[in-house]
Chains A and B, each alone.
Chain A
Amino acid sequence: MKHGKYRFLAMAILPALALHVIFVLSPYAQAFYLSLTDWTGVAGQANFVGLDNFARLGEDPLFLSALGNNALMLIVVPLATIAIALFLASMLNLGGRRGRAEVQGVAGGKVYKIVYFFPQLLSVPIIAVLWQFVYSPNNGLLNGFLSAVGLDGLARTWLADGSVALWAVMAVMVWSAVGFYVVLFSAAMDSIPRELFEAARLDGAGRLATFRSITLPLVRDNVNAAFVYLGIAALDGFALVQILSVGPGGPDGATEVIGLGLYRNAFSFGQFGYASAMGVALFFLTLTLAVIAMRSGRRTKVEMA
């Protein structure tokens, strides 16, 4: 059985490993090497420049503001998405009107579950184009809505105002992500035995207390995983910012993200080596985040000899 095991392991792992090494790791390894060169990206020659590119990162004001923006996104986007998704999911499952003790979801929950998932079906460029029309200053949906409900004072040029532009972009990220996590969390909540809730209700616990003492602990694993996914997404944000923001990355760097600077340096400034250095920096950032998150959420591993 021992040899059979290794033969099976080889058969199971090698084909995928070959694909991974050839098409993913080897190009990435080259990009790591290129981060140590002054490669322009359009010719076969490059000079080795050591760590110069990494030293330059610290003096690049756009890269530094990108770091700051990505850091803010890293905090806000996962927190807001998960908070909204948890709320909606628990209401879908348990928020319904109740008699003495029975627990049920709100009316129309099925429809909600379908509708909430919609944004997941759209690719980022489509989402960006749609929201451009939402944020449009003069006949955009958002300002139109605000003036319709008498809140003209709140209307502004969302994407061109440095104090709100990044928040406007983050709102789109949250908007597009919430639906997926609603479905994910409510799936997890479905598997919690009803009796637990009903017992809590009979004890006179309110919704908030029930949520804190029963729901949250039982979906903690899912919440941890959601933090990892959303964190990786928040560190990216490139496609959305590139299409949606003023400049792009503006006004005046307000929505600059690492991916955008990387793209600009690689393809507009002919500094592919420097751009690769940004990519390597981003890689280690994401890696750190992922390791921290996975460590904190790790479960015991089931293994079979």
Chain B
Amino acid sequence: MNPTTRRSVLRGALAAAATPLLAGCVTAGGGDQGPALRGQVTKDNPLGVALDAPLEVVIFKGAYGDQYALDAERAYNQRHPQAKINHQAIQKVGEALQPRFVADTPPDVVDNTGAGALDLPTLVKANQVSDLSELLDSPSLHDPSVRVRDTLLPGVVDDGTFNGRPRALNLVYTAWGVWYSRTLFAERGWSYPKTWDEMLTLCGEIKKSGIAPWTHQGKYPDYVGDLLVSMAFKAGGNDLLVAVDNLEPNAWKHEAMINAATAFAELVGRGYVMPGSEGLSHTEAQAAWSQGKAAFLPSGSWLESEQKGVTPENFQMVMMPPPQLSTSDKMPAAAVRAGGAQSFIVPEKARNRQGGMDFLRTLFAVPQARRFAELASALPSVKGATEGLRLSSGVDSVRNAVNAAGDNAFRYRFRTWYGTLKKSWDDATGELFTGRLTPQQWADRVQRAADAVARDPNITKYRR
């Protein structure tokens, strides 16, 4: 081979290398998917789905499995028999879908859930998720006289709303609170306390009986952190909650916040928390609780299905709202944090956007939601979906708590909106629960983090 050929070989190799380099740039924009498909809007097809458009559904396959989604897809196919459905059940939603969002070739509907889910505020900021108003204002499938929006439980729409636009719809209705075994409490003659003073008294009694009053999932400090701020919001009322979400100055230093932090610091200080809890993963802490080593445990309504394999028979787990800090709390004792989880989104650039929304219309109609409740033993976000269903102890207690709270169900958004604030809040809460931070120091630290977010021009702010 003479030098000339050698050079041309080299040049050829370089050209081959450069082609994907240039064409494959992530910021070059994609858009080879063509415009969104639309069909005729009719009474039976209010969202104007293109009848023969294929539909790609991505489901997070975690605690609830994916059978409910397969069933909903079958129901969708019955209405749109020409549609070819591509069902994908995966675990790491974020890593798997991120490049497809960047390439503007996302699936048509995504269950954005699980440890590896995509950060929703980031997607919203980048305008990658559809405004779901069109879906929410369409007639519901099971009762065309009611709009989808009005078939949902309180707070469900709110929970997926960013600056006034609904961007995500949560399938599971979740409430967060304090769990205990009804059997154990009946045996010992204990009853769930309404105020924190009663809680401390009862904890003394529990400790004497040889059981640790509390344990928690210390490896992930937001379990106790959520309980702490919920108690503060019950004491300080909705104004405090809004102030925290809106990053207002000194919101975290509010008296109610300090009191709630002090209440938990006292729990730790008096030795009412099982030793070592600060190092336990959720599975470990929950297992200790299921074995009766501790009486109380903070968690959300998914706890029962998570514990299915390790709960003793006749354990009868129930969830209650956190106690009031005092009788002068602004919210009643029944007030509970409740809202949606398991977020479904329809990507803005989805080829079959209308189909994606219509799939959600199918899934959020009573028959499919009810099917979900049966399969997953969880409460769906759809009104009346569990009527007449025999529920397990835990799900039943969550439903009762939600009903009892009524309009006093509340939800806060700072932890979803501002990832960096959540991280600082987590770290500070972990330190509070090991006694390495005082309540005042805890409040100061979280406030500093909130102020930093408020100042940071790179972070999109949301208000409520």
Contact = CB atoms under 8 A, between A and B. Distances in A.
| Touching chains A and B, CB distance < 8 Å | yes
Interface of A: 3, 6-7, 10, 14, 17-18, 21-22, 26, 29-30, 34, 37-46, 62, 132, 135-138, 157-162, 246-247, 250-253, 264, 267-271
Nearest to A160: B279
B59 to A, nearest CB: 19
Which has the most chain A C-beta neighbours within 10 Å: B123, B277, B288, B423? B423
A26 B14 CA distance: 12
Contacts of A271: 458
Which has the most chain A C-beta neighbours within 10 Å: B277, B420, B431? B420
Contacts of A21: 17, 21
13 contacts: A26-B24, A40-B125, A40-B126, A41-B102, A42-B101, A44-B29, A138-B275, A157-B279, A247-B219, A250-B426, A250-B427, A267-B94, A271-B458
A34 B431 CA distance: 35
Nearest to B123: A42
Contacts of A41: 98, 102, 122
Interface in B427-464: 427-428, 430-431, 434, 436, 458
A45 B21 contact: no
B248 interface: no
Contacts of A267: 94-95, 98, 116, 118-119
Interface in B213-248: 218-221
Chain B interface: which size bin? 35 or more
Interface in B43-74: none
Given A10-B1, A137-B279, A247 B430 contact: yes
Contact of B27 (A46, A252, A264): A46
B24 A10 contact: no
Nearest to B97: A42
B105 to A, nearest CB: 11
Which 3 residue pairs of A and B lie closest in terms of their CB atoms, listed nearest first?
Answer: A270-B122, A137-B276, A160-B279
Nearest to A53: B458
B436 A38 contact: no
Interface in B84-125: 94-95, 98, 101-104, 116, 118-119, 121-123, 125
A42 B98 contact: yes
B26 A30 contact: yes
Contact of B119 (A38, A45, A250, A269): A269
B153 interface: no
Contacts of A158: 279
B305 interface: no
Nearest to B445: A252
Given A21-B17, A22-B21, A37 B27 contact: yes
Given A251-B430, A267-B119, A39 B27 contact: yes
A270 B278 contact: no
A17 B17 CA distance: 9
A39 B99 CA distance: 13
Contacts of A39: 26-27
B111 to A, nearest CB: 17
Contacts of B420: 269
Given A17-B13, A18-B17, A246-B219, A136 B1 contact: no
Nearest to A26: B21
B204 interface: no
Contact of B9 (A14, A29, A137): A14
B119 to A, nearest CB: 5
Contacts of A138: 274-276, 280, 288
Nearest to A60: B420
Given A3-B2, A18-B13, A22-B17, A43 B434 contact: no
Contacts of B25: 30
B419 interface: yes
B119 A251 contact: no
B133 interface: no
A6 B427 contact: no
A246 B27 contact: no
A288 B279 CA distance: 36
B427 A44 contact: no
B197 interface: no
Given A29-B21, A43-B102, A138-B288, A253 B119 contact: no
A246 B285 CA distance: 13
Contacts of A45: 27, 29, 126
Which has the most chain B C-beta neighbours within 10 Å: A37, A159, A160, A162? A160
A45 B419 CA distance: 21
A135 B276 CA distance: 11
